[in-house]
Structure 1
């Protein structure tokens, strides 16, 4: 269920503390004396002459079992002027496994080093942009990658502890050394310990995981396209999403040293992540949602609603858990797939991120906490804002499928219906095939459709679909998708680029050096004209109907299971129809079962719980056939839409 809680206003004591910090920082960080508290950090410090250094932080673990405590490599870029003056500064940190194996960003940048081992190129624009504004940027090699000791354990204790230890070191609670094996210690006397973590995909996942430890000193995280539970990266209620497990991913990023030492960790990643999709203790360790109550950092979350890599369930369940625990938060939702906001809304992203870090790490009262909670992309480069997300008027309506004039082409409404629909799993068919043939009787899906809407209908949050199905075989996988049936122009998320096209011109975001350019290729929206839009989806193994441990099915017996559908925010316009499709294997998105079942749905015991702004009443009005209402009733406090300034992409 969506939890529409506003970004929490801080308690009185924290507001006073923030004001005090802002006053101190105004005195210490401003390049000239100021009579009023600053509202924005400015680029007054030299990037070219910045201090570039490396330390190795003791994680307290021996993941590679070599008899020595693992040390993780930490590359630092910070303003030399502030170091000379003894001024303590905050940290922006990206902990990543990708710095040497694969690269970061749309242009796959890797760390590079000079002859002394000091970082020359730090991937992405963060150091170029923020170091001149009085921040330190810290790039951490996760355990088992690049220049770090230990083993990659794909979101487990080693991954999280190797990043958390750096936050501890920045706050004086852990040891670091000037070399990987030496005894000379390094202290972080140059920082005030206030740390913000940022990153996309695995990097953002680490930010989620570290925040879920409640570590002191971590003030904010900015997870982009990030995982909140690793089980939900690999499985959907027992249905496998990929034909490989975490051992493959670990091997992909391991350093040569880790490959030589980490066979035991690799074996655990195989043995404790069975392809059956059963929940094990390995997944419990990698479930950050369960620890959301420990999160003290604010969260600025960014996700593509069409991300089919880190699927949108990951952000939806994390957001709801943060809301239940009163975490201060903000969200951007794009129409892209697995894409960084720097590559779909560049200028606005840099400005917003700048103000977010200024507020959260420098304590500047710049008003960002009073702005709308959510930015939502409605059409390519057209954005709307929502004061809270999901809006306060959002409530789940229970939609009921019914039989129609032809088999497999049914109705969707508020009233319980009887009857059955039957389909046969076809692993060669996908959700787009089903949607394209929604008005046809096809053997591989059961479709249920509303009448054309009389007014727009906004879905906001996560849905559930409860299915009662009788299989003919001992295994069966299920897919449930919600579809907006009607013409539209969307980002083409299903092709390379996942909604963006990379051009040749570049824009620059801070000063550059010979070895580290701040200039990146511009991108633009890759648009597609469509007749339908899949707006939410979910999958399950019917054998998981009773628990997170799958069992063989008894052919001819009816089973009831509830599928979790991904969070979204979508307006189905007047004149369009809303469809629910229930089918078997969703080609390329889940793996097929070991048999080819035919399933019969009991429609009286099948339903969809969908969060509409306005709830069931809004659905009833939209499907009643009356005169279309103004769009304001759909938007419910949403401004917009407005055009974005720029757009670009990233592959990982």
Structure 2
């Protein structure tokens, strides 16, 4: 399916082309094909070293720094000089980021660099080196309040999104910009077709700009990107942090003099409402999901299945919302954590990205939209292609919780009996909670399946439902789904989040003395382990019925609490054991608001809903005849959540 803007643009260009063919002899018609197009692909024919490098400041129509002067967004551009001379209009690949000066981009933390006269000489990442010789312009946009832009960063808010949207408008002749000397800058050299790309915060703003429905944005490639900022900082009312929230993040990337943006940061702190963890108007402004129906652009999503920074709920909810709107989509899911595909499947990523941009920005009829829509790394460096995600035929199958031997419970098809009790143990780490599942560890309850009698495909979002009786008005409930069985797994908990950086390099594009196209290669960090945590999820029990209006629980009364775990996709081989691990407070991942509870769980009315693909008539898990004995060695420590906030990029 094609987006409305692409259909209109392609039709107009087709009509113009048809008119040219009718009016011109064959030789003249052939000369209309620019030199960078050969058949259905672009090729590197333009001189990157001699390309035009320039900077413009785009007016946003906003003034959130309150100085009475309209805020302006700085845009550094590089484009082929040959197309400018020949009057050939070209599309634009854009990476809008807050990190170009404060922190750097990519695995090697590259920053923009400038000559003494202010001319940009180096762009981070490979996009400029690779695509400019192929007939593209590249635009590196500084968010409001960062680097050379004015205004103040509001972290996913109106200033951030509309400031970047203003650049798309300018590239389509609907906005104003100036050069450093104040003279007007006009983008007469471009077709107006824009593709946004970026990892993490960069990809998040691409989602947000696409959700405005701006015309001219033909495609976005969000990599490990946020779709709702509430979901970045919280999960079902459970806070991930109070120290590194939007106010802190705005200051972390701030490029303005210290006092200028403090009022904006104060407003961010107040609006985020750390006291309750509730969803409010502040977070609604930063939630792109409701506006997925407005997206005109195609979307190529890439995400890590083990990303503990921008978790998998972000890609899954965005992907599903786009699907409901009929948006053309493509999806890559890799095994590492918060890592760009350029750093774990480089050659295939660049090739696919090349075809994607050629199709959506150059209107070249290649095969990219006829290829499988979904590509998943099933195990380290083993990739499969599929038609959709979640997998076709996936349905939530209820799995019951059984009492087992009183220490270790069971997962199976028959409802359990009796109750089990959880006592809060805030000091309990994830490693201690999930290791040695047949041991009696205070603060946790483990439920194990029998060894699987066939391969089990889990694809989508599992949910946990517990019937609970609590000792105090609120508590946190935490759950982990665990794959028990010795296997080679990506070590996404180690530094590098699943990849190691090597000393060797590979080059992707054309280099200059100031801006080389070579990047250090990587390899997967694979370890043999006795178990792997597949997915996690938390809930603040007072938010069990509403994220906007928490309701305290009455001690001694029974309540039903249901919450989702992070979406996931895996195939558990026959012989493995599936485990569900329940705890209360989780100081390693969240900031529990009221620790110290004791919680009784009614097993008969509690369950795990597992998204699986099954032959008709078969249950998800085999009948547990005895509680399986599962021994595990000590696991590596999980990444420190506090450290992650400083490595968001």
Do both share a fold (TM > 0.5)? yes
Task: Give me the whole-angstrom Cα distance separating, in 2, the residues matched to 1:32 and 1:490.
Answer: 43
Per-residue deviation, residues 388-430 of structure 1 (Å, max 9, x unmatched): 22222111112221211123x1111233333211111222223
Distance in 1, matches of 2:508 and 2:34, equals: 21
The residue number in structure 2 matching 1:20 is: 14
Aligned: 1:366 with 2:357: no
Q: 2:143 aligns to what?
A: 142
**SS in structure 2 opposite 1:392?**
coil
Post-superposition offset of 1:561: 2.0
Structure with higher RCO (Cα < 8 A, 6+ apart): 1
Q: TM-score, normalised by structure 1?
A: 0.90
How far apart, in 2, do the equivalents of 1:169 and 1:432 lie?
Answer: 52
Cα distance change of structure 1 residues 23 and 618 upon mapping to structure 2, 3 Å threshold: farther
Structure 1 residue runs without a partner (length 5+): 1-7, 626-649
> Aligned partners of 1:307, 1:432: CA distance in 2, in Å?
17
Checking the alignment, whether the CA contact within 8 Å between 1:289 and 1:318 is kept in structure 2 is yes
- Given that 2:37 and 2:43 are in contact with CA atoms closer than 8 Å, whether structure 1 keeps it comes out as no
Partner of 1:103: 104
Moved more, 599-608 or 163-172: 599-608
Contact 1:62 1:70 in 2 (8 A): yes
Worse-matched range after superposition: 93-102 or 266-275:
266-275
How far is 1:615 from its partner?
A: 7.2
Deviations 1:568-587 (A, max 9, x none): 11011100011222211234
1:612 aligns with 2:612: yes
Paired position in structure 2 for 1:463: 462
CA distance in structure 2 between the aligned counterparts of 1:237 and 1:616, rounded to whole angstroms? 33
* 1:303-342 paired onto structure 2 within 5 Å: 303-342=303-342
Report the Cα distance in structure 2 between the residues aligned to 1:106 and 1:183, rounded to whole angstroms.
36
- Where do residues 585-600 of structure 1 align in structure 2 (5 Å cutoff)? 585-600=585-600
Judged with a 3 Å threshold, the aligned counterparts in structure 2 of structure 1 residues 420 and 529 are, in CA distance, closer, same or farther, namely: same
The answer for the alignment partner of 1:632 in structure 2 is: none
For 2:403, what is the secondary structure of its paired residue? strand
The 10-residue stretch of structure 1 (294-303 or 553-562) with the greater mean CA deviation from structure 2:
553-562
Query: Aligned with 2:405: secondary structure?
Result: strand
Aligned-residue CA RMSD (Å):
2.2
Equivalent position of 2:477 in the other structure: 478
Kindly tell me: are residues 374 and 473 of structure 1, through their superposed partners in 2, closer, same or farther at Cα, counting changes over 3 Å? same
Distance across 2 between alignment mates of 1:295 and 1:26: 35
Change (3 A) 1:491 1:156: same
Is 1:398–1:616's contact at 8 Å kept on the other side of the alignment? no
Aligned equivalents of 1:260 and 1:360: distance in 2?
A: 43
Q: Deviations over 1:303-361 (max 9, x none)?
A: 11111111111111111111111111011111111111110111111111111111111
Partner residue, 2:266: 267
Aligned residue for 2:131?
A: 130
**Contact persistence 1:106–1:651 (CA under 8 A):** no
What is residue 229 of structure 1 aligned with on the other side? 228
For 1:63-74, what aligned pairs fall within 5 Å after superposition?
63-74=64-75
Cα displacement (A) at 1:385: 1.3
Distance 1:560-1:518 versus aligned 2 partners, 3 A rule:
same
**CA 1:170–1:446: 2 relative to 1, 3 Å:** same
CA 651–69 in structure 1, closer or farther in 2 if over 3 Å, else same: closer
Contact map agreement 1:95 1:206 (CA 8 A) in 2: yes
How many Å apart are 1:247 and its aligned residue? 0.5
CA distance in 1, matches of 2:189, 2:474: 59
Asked if the contact 1:75–1:119 (Cα under 8 Å) also holds between the matched residues in 2, the reply is yes
TM-score of the two chains, using structure 2 as the length reference: 0.91
1:173 lines up with 2:200 in the alignment: no
Aligned counterpart, 1:573: 573
1:444 is matched with 443
Q: Partner residue of 2:279?
A: 279
Whether the 8 Å contact between 1:223 and 1:301 is mirrored in structure 2 is yes
Separation (CA, whole Å) in 2 of partners of 1:430 and 1:22: 65
Q: Contact 2:426–2:595 (CA<8 Å) still a contact in 1?
A: no
Q: What corresponds to 2:290 in structure 1?
A: 290
Mapped partners of 1:116, 1:19: distance in 2: 39
Distance between the aligned counterparts of 2:100 and 2:15, measured in 1? 34
Where does residue 34 of structure 2 map in the other structure?
Answer: 30
Distance 1:431 1:523 in 2: 28
Tell me the matched-pair count: 614
3-state secondary structure, aligned to 1:49:
coil
Alpha-carbon offset, residue 383 of structure 1: 1.1
Q: Distance in 2 between matches of 1:22 and 1:485?
A: 61
Q: CA deviation at 1:89?
A: 0.4
Measured in 2, the distance between the counterparts of 1:33 and 1:134 equals: 8
CA change 1:208–1:21 in 2 (3 A) is farther
Distance in 1 between the 2:448 and 2:613 partners? 19
SS at match of 1:570: strand
Which residue of structure 1 aligns with residue 392 of structure 2? 392
2-side partners of 1:130 and 1:32: how far apart? 10
Shift of 1:14: 6.3
Q: Contact conserved, 1:75 with 1:139, CA < 8 A, in 2?
A: yes
Q: 2:494 aligns to what?
A: 495
Q: Against the structure 1 CA distance between its residues 228 and 20, is the aligned structure 2 distance closer, same or farther, given a 3 Å change threshold?
A: same
C-alpha contact 1:76 1:138 (8 A) present in aligned 2: yes
1:76-95 paired onto structure 2 within 5 Å: 76-95=77-96
Instruction: Structure 2 unaligned segments of length 5 or more: list them.
Output: 19-28, 625-646
Q: Secondary structure of 1:256's match? A: coil
Q: Which residue of 2 aligns with 1:413?
A: 412
1:624: how far off? 6.1
The whole-number CA distance in structure 2 between the counterparts of 1:496 and 1:532 is: 19
- Aligned residue in 2 for 1:188: 187
Q: Distance in 2 between matches of 1:449 and 1:19?
A: 60
- Quote the offset at 1:458 in angstroms: 0.4
Q: 1:100 to 1:253 in 2, by over 3 A?
A: same
| Separation in 1, partners of 2:400, 2:11 | 52
Q: What corresponds to 1:75 in structure 2? A: 76
Q: Distance in 2 between matches of 1:223 and 1:214?
A: 16
Q: Does 1:302 align with 2:296?
A: no
C-alpha separation between the residues in 1 aligned to 2:603 and 2:444?
14
Deviations 1:496-515 (A, max 9, x none): 10001111111110111111
Number of the residue aligned with 1:121: 122
Q: Deviations over 1:343-380 (max 9, x none)?
A: 01111111111111111111111111111111111222
Q: Retained in 2: the 8 A contact 1:29–1:134?
A: no
Partner of 1:249: 249
Counterparts of 2:112 and 2:231 in 1: how far apart (Å)? 30
Rate the CA distance shift 1:86–1:269 in 2: closer, same or farther, 3 A: same
Question: Is the 1:497–1:651 Cα contact (8 Å) retained in structure 2?
Answer: no
Counterpart CA distance in 2 for 1:71 and 1:385 is 43
**1:562 match:** 562
CA gap of 1:31–1:44, structure 2 versus 1, over 3 A, is: same
Moved more, 588-597 or 369-378: 588-597
